[in-house]
Amino acid sequence: MSDVRYELELDVRSPDGFRSRAVVEFASGGGDTFLELHRAGSLAVTVDGQKITPGYDGRRVALAGLTAGRHTVVVDARLSYVTDGEGLHTFTDPVDGERYAGAYLGLDIAQRLFACFDQPDLKAPVTLTVHADPSWTVLANGRAASAEGSTFRFATTPPIPSSLVTVVAGPYHSMRWDYQGLPMGWYARRSLAGPLDRDAAELRRVTEVCFDHYARIFDEPFPFDAYDQVFVPDLNWGAMENPGCVTYAEFLLPRGRVTDDDRRRRAMVIAHEMSHMWFGNLVTPVWWEDAWLNESFADYMGFEVAETVAGFPGVRVAFEAAFKPEAQVADLRGSTHPVAPSSADVPDVDTGTTIFDRISYGKGNAVLRQLVTWLGEPDFLAGVNAHLTRHRFANATLADLLSALDAASPRDVRGWAEVWLRQAGHDTIRVERRGDVPVLVRDGIRPHRCTVTAFRPDGVAAGSRLVDLAGEPVELPEWAGLAVLPNAHGETFARIAPDPHSLGVLSRHLTTIPDPLVRAVLWAALLDLDLLAAHLPAEPSPTLITAALDRILNNVVRRTLSPADVPAALDLIAGACATYDGPDDQRALALARGLVWSTRDTALLRRWLEADAIDRGVTLDPDLRWAAVHRLAELGAFDAAEIEAERLRDGTVEGELGAASALAARPSASAKAAAWAAMTSDPDISVTRFRALAAGLWSLSHRELAAPYLPAYLAAAPSLARRGSAFAAAVGRAFPTFPLTDGELDLVRDALRGDVPTVLRRFWLDELDDRTA
């Protein structure tokens, strides 16, 4: 198959289903093939002008006996909307009753929107017409060509993969402008007009700064004819890089306060998604084993550009404290894989789904940063630009990229890739002593270039330098008697094992070290409950406070403690969060977010709700308010009527979800039974509602009520997971969040001996690894 073209016509005017008409042109070598189309309610097919009745099994439209040459197939079908974020998703806003529709695709989901060859190596130009409510805004990959009544037409795109086709339709509030000859826009639901207007100037500035930067460093010009960015409801990913029309999850447009951390994260995501216009959209992997060619590059670019270009210092601090440690945890599991796995390791799309994970993102990001440090940025960009130009609007593999980098650099890039990209696992950099002289030793197989910083006994830095560490130890005689920290600026991906002297100095003076990036590396390397209790109240960075609390909750309290030890751990965390009385409101809010899930002080939480502020007078944002309601319900101090009053007070979809979660969190058998019934009885339950109910069902504070649902969950989950990959991931993430006994872990092992879908199996295996490490 080759030279594919699509002419699509979608009619989304009815809320009960939509019409999808696809004219598919392609060249064939002859023989049998098929188009993919998911569960069409009605179907009419013509091949080269002749109506046929094809074989159709609900997934594939058979095209038998084609002659060699060019063909035109027309597939006219009636399809269903979805509520799980995989297909043409429909959403009704509870604030104003307005309806929105959006195509959220990816991997093999395009077939839920139109008949297609649903694979990344058959890129095609797309010409789109949409019939929609004439009062709506309708956006797609191509530039808007015309809008006449209810008919919206879009310009033909360059060749793009089917997984990245999109259409977004609804009564969107917008900010539009032209920049460098390109129409641009930001959009949000009408009920989120206030937050969009509030942040409009910053969103525009970040977009333009990122655009200018990529125009400077990439030889290939921006590949598409428009650049719209849309906050859409119920997106399963943080964002999706659809060419010319990027979609973002709405948590990136907070209804309440926007903290510095919120702004940094959003800038990083904007830079990440824009870089995809080159990495993934201009040049696309042949198959999903090379997903890292999209995600690792975009993740590296996102953090790098937000930190150094877009004006958000501290983005790398978040990466070192939160994202990289989670990637190291993932790299220790049985499910780990090379950053660049072989095609044999990714035999199908379900397996491909599982590698969009912390290895492809966090580890891949860190490995690319090490590559840039090792090669130097000029050679790195020279190789990348040669690769992008050579394969523009086509597909490419790891071998193609390595050829370009090898040609641009005198270093052995292929040898580097073999140990860094083709092999799973990571090294440990240890500090040893020869007398008083610190010595760096590598346990592993990879070359490392990273910054080493020395510290005096009082914790003051005594100097830094870049070090190359490979098979031979590296002595640091100029720092005899001093503490040293390898990888102090996070240039490489390795575990850090300080010697006892360095560990003592660094642990004692953790929060007085002025460089937050160095503190991020230390928090990541040293964190445990004792360190948290000793240093969290004095940590100056809200970013590091949040990262430490999240990791303690998810990796320690929920997974590694015994059930009997959880109450004491929560009390210790609450004590650490409650002691700050300084002037920094963002620091106080970061600690309040930890206090709200760990405290047993119901009077404090009620006081917050009554004042709509924490005790120092900082107003509660909607997320923090619902967290307080959830904790009060969990502690048995907030009843159904009070939860309903909060839901009515909020009035948004976030309020609906917060109320569902709080009701499920109440410490009663009837509340747990109602939550479980709601999770399993509605075949169309949304991913977001399912997650909210699960968060309430599995309460840390009353596992005796929730633990009896573990067998039911293990029995029902495989069937629920067959709804689709996004829902399978939601079911996997709905695994009990409290510590399990050995007998309960055995139940999980028994369940895994059955027929468990690939995506769900990955989540369960990871849970077992994390809880038995």
Identify residue 388 by its one-letter amino acid code.
L
Structure token digits, residue 475: 């002595």
Helices 710-721 and 742-752, axial angle in degrees (round to 10): 30
Task: Quote the DSSP letter at residue 124.
Answer: B
Residue 21 one-letter amino acid: R
Is residue 304 annotated as a catalytic residue, yes or no?
A: no
Among candidate residues 273, 320, 634, 744, the one labeled active-site is 273
| DSSP 8-state symbol, 620 | P
List C-alpha distances in Å: 355 to 228, 332, 336, 348, 493. Answer: 28, 15, 9, 11, 18
Around Cβ 39, how many Cβ atoms within 10 Å?
A: 12
Q: Distance of CA 47 to CAs 20, 34, 65, 162, 275, Å?
A: 17, 12, 11, 21, 39
Q: Are 35 and 61 in contact (CB under 8 A)?
A: yes
Question: What own/partner pairs with CB < 8 Å and gap ≥ 24 does 708-714 have?
Answer: 709/672, 709/676, 710/736, 710/740, 710/744, 710/747, 711/747, 712/676, 714/747, 714/748, 714/751
Residue 696 near residue 660 (C-beta atoms within 8 A): yes
Tokens of 768: 């077992």
SS (H, E, C) 131-200: ECCCCCEEEECCCEEEEECCEEEECCCCCECHHHCCEEEECCEEEEEEECCEEEEEEECHHHHHHHHHHH
Q: Classify residue 290 by its DSSP letter.
A: G
Q: Which residues contact 338 (CB under 8 A, 6 or more apart)?
A: 345, 359, 421, 422, 423, 424
Q: Are 323 and 314 in contact (CB under 8 A)?
A: no
The answer to whether residues 202 and 213 touch, using CB atoms and an 8 Å cutoff, is no
Phi, psi dihedral angles at 16 (to 5 degrees): -95, -5
Residue 768: helix, strand or coil by DSSP? helix
**97 token code pair:** 């009753």
The single-letter DSSP state of residue 221 is P
- DSSP line for 377-396: HHHHHHHHHHHHHHTTTEEE
Report the C-alpha gap between 601 and 72 in whole angstroms. Answer: 68
Tokens 């979608």 locate to 10
Burial string for 318-351 (b: 16+ CB within 10 Å, else e) reads bbbbbbbbbbbbbbebebbbbbbbeeeebeebbb
Residue 343 DSSP symbol: G
> In whole angstroms, what is the distance from residue 581 CA to residue 618 CA?
13
Q: How many CB atoms lie within 10 A of CB 749?
A: 12
* Alpha carbon separation from 29 to 34, 65, 69, 118, 435 (Å, rounded): 13, 11, 6, 18, 73
Tokens (6 digits) for 229: 């960015």
Sign of the C-alpha dihedral, residues 523, 524, 529, 530?
Answer: negative
Phi first, then psi, for residue 216 (nearest 5°) are -75, -40
**What is the C-alpha to C-alpha distance for residues 736 and 437, in angstroms, rounded to an integer?**
48
Q: Do residues 165 and 20 touch, judged by C-beta distance below 8 A?
A: no
Strand ranges (E), 18-136: 18-28, 31-36, 42-47, 50-52, 60-66, 69-79, 87-92, 99-104, 126-131
Residues belonging to the active site:
273
